[in-house]
A and B are shown apart, each in its own frame.
Chain A
Amino acid sequence: AQTVTQSQPEMSVQEAETVTLSCTYDTSESDYYLFWYKQPPSRQMILVIRQEAYKQQNATENRFSVNFQKAAKSFSLKISDSQLGDAAMYFCAYRSAEGAQKLVFGQGTRLTINP
Chain B
Amino acid sequence: DAGVIQSPRHEVTEMGQEVTLRCKPISGHDYLFWYRQTMMRGLELLIYFNNNVPIDDSGMPEDRFSAKMPNASFSTLKIQPSEPRDSAVYFCASGRNIQPQHFGDGTRLSIL
Contact residues of A with B, CB < 8 Å?
A: 33, 35, 37, 42-47, 50, 91, 97, 100-108
B: number of interface residues (CB 8 Å): 23
Residues of B within 8 A of A (CB): 31, 33, 35, 42-45, 48, 50, 55-56, 89, 91, 93, 95, 98, 100-103, 105-106, 108
Contact of A43 with B89 at beta-carbon distance under 8 Å, contacts A97-B98, A102-B56 already known:
yes
**Can you give 26 contacting A-B residue pairs, CB < 8 Å?**
A33-B98, A33-B100, A35-B100, A37-B103, A43-B89, A43-B105, A44-B103, A44-B105, A45-B93, A45-B106, A47-B100, A47-B102, A50-B100, A100-B56, A101-B31, A101-B48, A101-B50, A101-B95, A102-B33, A103-B33, A103-B101, A104-B45, A105-B42, A105-B43, A105-B44, A106-B42
* B48 A91 Cβ-Cβ under 8 A: no
Q: Report the number of A-B residue pairs with Cβ-Cβ less than 8 Å.
A: 48
A100, B105: Cα distance in complex, Å: 23
Residues of A within 8 A of B102 (CB): 47
Identify the 4 closest CB pairs spanning chains A and B, nearest first.
A45-B103, A105-B43, A102-B45, A107-B42
CA distance A91 to B105 in the complex (A): 16
Asked whether B98 lies within 8 Å of A108 as measured between CB atoms, the reply is no
